[in-house]
Amino acid sequence: MTSPTRPRLYSGPLSMFGAKAEIALLEKGIDAEVVMVPFDMKRLYEPKHPEVLRINPKRQVPVLVHGPVEIFDSTQIFEYLEDIVPDPPLWPRDPVARARSRLLEMKSDEVYFPHIVRLMGLQQAPDDPAAIAARAGASAFYDAMEAELGRGECLAGAFSYADIAFYMAQLFGDRMGAPMTEAHPRLVAWRDRIGERASVIRVAGAMGRWLVGEGRPIPAFLDRLVRASRPPPAA
């Protein structure tokens, strides 16, 4: 999609929710400007970007600006993108499948990811009871998603926002010490399939490169995306 008013997305190099919105823009073929706000491992997002502060009372990325539209929250951005560019659909058009996809996207953000956020603050204390409980919660979620996936290629039929959300969430889960294991073979195969998409290679690969540049370890599946996203050497 091209428009006289080009959408602008404010994201961050290590923003899981911003990456969700970036992938969705690419999948929709929307020509958007992506602004990476200042971020480092010590100060995080301080100082905050003034446009993020102006638009989002939660003071967080992602924020999308498109003409008179100024919105935040990755799910709200998904809904807006679906309205302005219905094809290709990233919410299933069948009402039952669409409800399932929306529920899974919400669960990724609000049921699974809080376990991972808890682990972020406990990286130096993996035996803390709170860390043990968070890993157990993540594992239980994987068990449920393994059953949910069944024999399908994607989480809710065709590729959807649910796949985008959980792919990025589990990437952070793996990094924080709650990886999927051999107990979840269908999910691991699903992750490999989603990781072959050009949008995911571009966005997650860039995140992986940023982490490597900071001297941070990355999981093997993300390293494959880093290598796949590198430009070919000059002739």
DSSP conformation letters of 130-150: HHHHHHHHHHHHHHHHHHHHT
CA 34, CA 13: separation in Å to the nearest integer?
11
Beta-carbon count within 10 A of 60 CB? 18
* Segment 50-67, tens digit of pLDDT: 999 999 999 999 999 999
pLDDT, position 28: 98
Model's pTM, two decimal places?
Answer: 0.94
In tens digits, what is the pLDDT along the chain, a chain of 235 residues?
A: 545 689 999 999 999 999 999 999 999 999 999 999 988 877 778 788 999 999 999 999 999 999 999 999 999 999 999 999 999 999 999 999 999 999 999 999 999 999 999 999 998 999 999 999 999 999 999 999 999 887 789 999 899 999 999 999 999 999 999 999 999 999 999 999 999 999 999 999 999 999 999 999 999 999 999 999 877 665 5
Superfamily of domain 8-84: Glutaredoxin (3.40.30.10)
CATH code for the domain defined by 95-194 = 1.20.1050.10
Six token digits for residue 59: 């003071």
pLDDT, position 233: 63
Q: In what order do the strands lie in the sheet with 63-66?
A: 33-36, 8-11, 63-66, 69-72
pLDDT, position 2: 46
Cα of 120 vs its chain's centroid, Å: 16
pLDDT, position 1: 53
Q: Where does CATH 1.20.1050.10 sit in the chain?
A: 95-194
pLDDT, position 230: 79
70-94 in b/e form (b: 16+ CB < 10 A) is: eebbbbebbebbbeebeeeebbbee
Q: Where does CATH 3.40.30.10 sit in the chain?
A: 8-84
